[in-house]
């Protein structure tokens, strides 16, 4: 992959200041090519990036260090490819977000980001066998149409969605809430490795960023942004799953929910969405009919 000097600079900046692209917009408006940054004073960087005085001083020090490194080569040595906002391979769908990732870090089959249709499947970390059974009806028709499955590689429904896609011979994209030097949950290391080799892992965080409580809600907007439609299997009424749904609704995505038993707490989320206008789902063909 080739990079312009502008793209390389954004990768350098994001590596030391991993925030969404909108946080760099003042800087880009002032200096669209992001050149000559070494001449900027810490006071000016404080103004352009909204940093505290202490962070602005540290930012300038780190920038001077990182700009001397072959950063892209170092990332590629761990099979990590950065895709900056300005790059033609950056997904156009993510540019519709109010806070798109400034850089995506990916491992695996990048062509999955070029697919016209992708379907996000999400749900509770405590999802039951009911979610697995539902996926047996939902995923195969999507796989037959070469539609990748997007999810967050969390425990429960996310893991089931990735596994179903692979089991039925399809493609899947895992959106992580941390950098590639970490894996959360730890028990998903094997499936993550398989996806990095044969499917696709995506994150907006440089490799050194660990999982944190705030990174996972941020991750959810990328799942929504990459998906043409969102499917919810099981979920409580208030959860990270519902945050993803809110992002999807904000951007006009189709929402499908698997109806559940009225005595199950994990049916509260999907059933509430159905009451609010989500489409009931029992077959992947319903998604295909609507999207195509």
Per residue in 228-267, pLDDT (tens digit) is 999 999 999 877 788 888 888 888 899 999 999 999 999 9
Q: E strands of 3-157, at which residues?
A: 81-84, 103-108, 119-122, 149-151
What are the two backbone dihedrals, phi and then psi, of residue 135, each rounded to the nearest 5 degrees? -65, -25
Sequence-separated (6 or more) residues with CB below 8 Å from residue 96: 225, 251
In whole angstroms, give the CA distance from residue 98 to residue 249.
14
What pLDDT shows up at residue 227?
Answer: 96
- Cα separations (Å) of 11 from 8, 117, 175, 195, 220? 5, 28, 19, 24, 22
- Cα separations (Å) of 24 from 42, 85, 102, 202, 205? 15, 11, 8, 21, 15
Average pLDDT of the residues of the chain = 95
What pLDDT shows up at residue 245?
Answer: 87
What pLDDT shows up at residue 186?
Answer: 96
Alpha-carbon Rg for the chain in angstroms: 20
What pLDDT shows up at residue 18?
Answer: 97
Per-residue pLDDT tens digits for 118-158: 999 999 999 999 999 999 999 999 999 999 999 999 999 99
Assigned token pair, 232: 């919810």
Using DSSP bridges, classify how beta strands 81-84 and 200-203 pair: parallel, antiparallel or unpaired: unpaired
- Which of these ranges, 25-39, 165-179, 235-249, has the smallest mean pLDDT? 235-249
The average pLDDT across 212-217 equals 92
Does residue 7 have a cis peptide bond before it, meaning omega lies within 30 degrees of 0? no
Per-residue pLDDT tens digits for 40-71: 999 999 999 999 999 999 999 999 999 999 99
Which pTM was predicted? 0.96
What pLDDT shows up at residue 246?
Answer: 85
- Cα separations (Å) of 281 from 51, 140, 286? 46, 14, 7
Confidence of residue 291 (pLDDT cuts 50, 70, 90): very high
User: Could you please report the per-residue DSSP string of 148-189?
Assistant: PEEE---TTHHHHHHHHHHHTT--EEEE-SS-TT--SSGGGH
Cα end-to-end span (Å), the chain: 32
């Amino acid at each position: 992959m080739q990079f312009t000097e502008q793209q390389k600079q954004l990768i350098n900046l994001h590596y030391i200041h991993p925030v969404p692209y909108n946080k760099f917009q003042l800087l880009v408006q002032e200096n669209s090519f992001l050149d000559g940054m070494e001449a900027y004073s810490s006071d000016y960087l404080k103004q352009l990036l909204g940093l505290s005085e202490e962070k602005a001083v540290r930012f300038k020090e780190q920038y001077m260090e990182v700009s001397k490194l072959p950063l892209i080569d170092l990332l590629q040595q761990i099979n990590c490819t950065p895709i900056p906002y300005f790059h033609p391979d950056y997904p156009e769908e993510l540019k519709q977000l109010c806070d798109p990732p400034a850089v995506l870090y990916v491992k695996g089959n990048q062509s999955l980001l070029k697919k016209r249709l992708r379907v996000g499947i999400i749900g509770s970390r405590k999802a039951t066998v009911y979610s697995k059974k539902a996926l047996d009806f939902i995923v195969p028709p999507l796989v037959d149409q070469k539609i990748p499955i997007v999810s967050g590689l969390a425990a429960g429904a996310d893991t089931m969605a990735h596994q179903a896609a692979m089991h039925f011979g399809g493609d899947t994209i895992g959106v992580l809430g941390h950098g590639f030097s970490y894996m959360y949950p730890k028990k998903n290391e094997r499936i993550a490795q398989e996806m990095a080799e044969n499917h696709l892992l995506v994150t907006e965080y440089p490799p050194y960023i660990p999982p944190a409580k705030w990174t996972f809600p941020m991750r959810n907007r990328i799942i929504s942004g990459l998906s043409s439609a969102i499917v919810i299997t099981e979920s409580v009424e208030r959860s990270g799953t519902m945050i993803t749904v809110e992002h999807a609704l904000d951007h006009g995505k189709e929402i499908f929910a698997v109806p559940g038993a009225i005595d199950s707490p994990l049916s509260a989320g999907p059933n509430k969405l159905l009451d609010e206008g989500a489409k009931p789902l029992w077959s992947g063909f319903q998604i295909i009919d609507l999207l195509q």
